[in-house]
Amino acid sequence: MQFLFRDHLLDTDRRELSREQVPIAVEPQVFDLVVHLMQNRDRVVSKDELIDKIWHGRSVSESTLTSRINAARKAIGDDGASQTLIRTITRKGFRFVGDVQTQSAAVAPEPVRIAQPQAAFALPERPAIAVLPFTNMSGEAGQDYFSDGISEDIITALSKLRWFFVVARNSSFVYKGRAVHIQEVARELGVRYVVEGSVRRSGERVRISAQLNDVSTGSHLWAERYDRELADIFAVQDEITEAIVAAIEPQLYAAESFRAQQKPPGSLDAWDLVMRALSHYWRSTREGNAAAQRLLEQAVAIDPAYGKALGLLATSHMFGAHMGWADMAATIPVAERAALAAVEADREDAWAHHGLAYTYLFRRRFDDALAEFELALRLNPNFAMAHAFHGVTLCYAGRWQDGDAAARRALRLSPRDPLAAIYCGVAAYARFVGRDYEGAAQMARESLRQRADFVGAHRVLTAAAGMLGDPALAASALENLRRAQPEVSLEWITRELPMLRDEDRTHYLEGLRRAGMT
């Protein structure tokens, strides 16, 4: 269904809000709030009803509800003073009072007249990104379908990153065939980030170039070139799309984290706090993990129903206990509360399900953990971190081949990821379980090359050295492990690492014992 009011269009099927066909960035809860008020515009909607419909009955503070109402007004061009569209009815609730026309979503609005200059739009509160149609440089108009398909698939895949606003295809494709500067695109569409690229096909080979630009700073955040054989043109299209999207996601988070670092502490909102927390979490250190938890707790205090913040908080708690930086028994209940709250707040958020899956793993609920990881990956197939931790779970469940494939998929998806050291560590553990000790040592060394104090890789390298019968390597690896995790012991490994099969636990302990651990 489409609702038309003033110069706005709200499309419930596409979950898009636009003004004069230019998309407006809206958080999911705010969008649902506007829809509910509009659908029930013939009456006053009580606060209790809004809490029941939008927050599913969860306890919500007055300030949280007020902030969502204010955000809804801002999104549709209203404000608390005039209340020309959303009116507060004292002691009763809220009512949408604007004139609304409805139409089937199949009826498209009048096309944009690109010859007319667009007005400049302010940047939305959340990061917004536009994907320009990739340029067909093959010299054959008949090849447009391939370059257009790449662009459209990237838009679709990026749209799964629910905390980034992605401009719809119909808006970004008005620039097809036009010589336009990305500064103009950003101004007209109200975005901070622009993806552009080109496709050159020659015979049975294709070269695709892509880059991500931060228009606000004029910098290139990422660029890559892909050369492929066209044995299956659609398989190549899928592969390139996957690679581009997986590479873009961590770059967007890193850019937003840097932006948050430049803001004075008093001006930080929940989003900024989560971005700062991610920059600390990515360090994979005891201190970084603790700093991330403090920032995430601040974010949740501002917005108790922030699924991403809660999911990352649960993940951070479990990662700390997994690394041996916190007591596992005390950590699990804290992480589980955050994870369950995350899923309750936003069942469509991949981070929320990732946090719950990680908690279930250390509850030894392997089937539930695997199901939650699989759900997270259905929601965001390019979520490299979820692929890696899914791999850990598969290894602990005895499915090391699948675990190895999941870890290597994470590395293939996001080779420049800040957490690539962890992905290498997972692959190292998978190789150890599969009795490939040379491979395990190689991947563990690569992990430690990227993160010298990554505890998980130290543990695997020590066990692999023990099984290889290399006393010099074993002594060195054990010394470095004890420096990174002083409390590590065979008893700690037995108690804390959730291995489903006794033979896997015995095997791991044997490697550590041969290396000299007691």
pLDDT band at 92 (very low <50, low <70, confident <90, very high): confident
DSSP for 459-489? HHHHHHHHHHT-HHHHHHHHHHHHHH-TT--
pLDDT band at 106 (very low <50, low <70, confident <90, very high): very low
Pairing mode of beta strands 165-166, 128-131: parallel
CA dist., res. 127 & res. 290, Å (int): 26
Highest averaged pLDDT of the listed ranges 114-123, 216-225, 299-308: 299-308
107: pLDDT strictly greater than 70:
no
515: pLDDT strictly greater than 60:
yes
- Residue 207 tokens, joined: 């070269």
Give the residue range(s) of CATH 1.10.10.10 domains in the chain: 2-103
Fold category of 128-232 in CATH: Rossmann fold (3.40.50)
Pairing mode of beta strands 165-166, 8-11: unpaired
Q: Which amino acid is at 371?
A: A
Highest averaged pLDDT of the listed ranges 61-75, 76-90, 252-266, 400-414: 400-414
What pLDDT, on the 0 to 100 scale, is given for residue 81?
75
Highest averaged pLDDT of the listed ranges 102-106, 258-262, 364-368: 364-368
CA dist., res. 486 & res. 70, Å (int): 51
Give the other-Cβ count within 10 Å of 220's Cβ.
10
171: pLDDT strictly greater than 60:
yes
Fold category of 263-381 in CATH: 1.25.40
With residue 200 as reference, give the H or E element that holds it. Answer: strand 193-202
Q: With 0-12 CB in 10 A as exposed, 13-18 as middle and 19+ as buried, what is 314?
A: buried
Instruction: Choose among 305, 383, 379, 385: nearest CA to 346.
Output: 305
pLDDT band at 115 (very low <50, low <70, confident <90, very high): very low
Instruction: Choose among 20, 256, 25: nearest CA to 123.
Output: 25
What pLDDT, on the 0 to 100 scale, is given for residue 458?
96
Average pLDDT, the chain: 85
Give the residue range(s) of CATH 3.40.50.10610 domains in the chain: 128-232
User: What burial letters (b/e) apply to 145-172, b meaning 16+ CB within 10 Å?
Assistant: ebbbbbbbbbbebbbbbbbbbbbbebbb
Q: With 0-12 CB in 10 A as exposed, 13-18 as middle and 19+ as buried, what is 516?
A: middle
9: pLDDT strictly greater than 80:
yes
224: pLDDT strictly greater than 80:
yes
CA dist., res. 86 & res. 96, Å (int): 5
Helix, strand, coil share of the chain (percent; to 5): 55, 15, 30
109: pLDDT strictly greater than 60:
no
Put residue 119 in one of left, alpha, beta given phi > 0 → left and psi -120 to 50 → alpha: beta
What pLDDT, on the 0 to 100 scale, is given for residue 389?
96
CA dist., res. 92 & res. 97, Å (int): 15
Top pLDDT among 173 and 328 is at 328
User: What burial letters (b/e) apply to 443-455, b meaning 16+ CB within 10 Å?
Assistant: bbbbbbebbebbb
Q: Whole-prediction pTM value?
A: 0.65
Percent of the chain with pLDDT strictly greater than 70: 90
Architecture, CATH, for domain 2-103: Orthogonal Bundle (1.10)
Q: Is 384-518 in CATH node 1.10.760.10?
A: no
Give the other-Cβ count within 10 Å of 469's Cβ.
10
What pLDDT, on the 0 to 100 scale, is given for residue 423?
94
Percent of the chain with pLDDT strictly greater than 90: 40
User: What burial letters (b/e) apply to 82-114, b meaning 16+ CB within 10 Å?
Assistant: eeebbbeeeeebbbbebebeeeeeeeeeeeeee
CA–CA distances in Å: residue 473 to residues 226, 422, 445:
39, 21, 11
Q: Per residue in 428-443, pLDDT tens?
A: 999 999 999 999 999 9
Considering only 29-33, 301-305, 413-417, which range has the smallest mean pLDDT? 413-417
Give the residue range(s) of CATH 1.25.40.10 domains in the chain: 263-381, 384-518
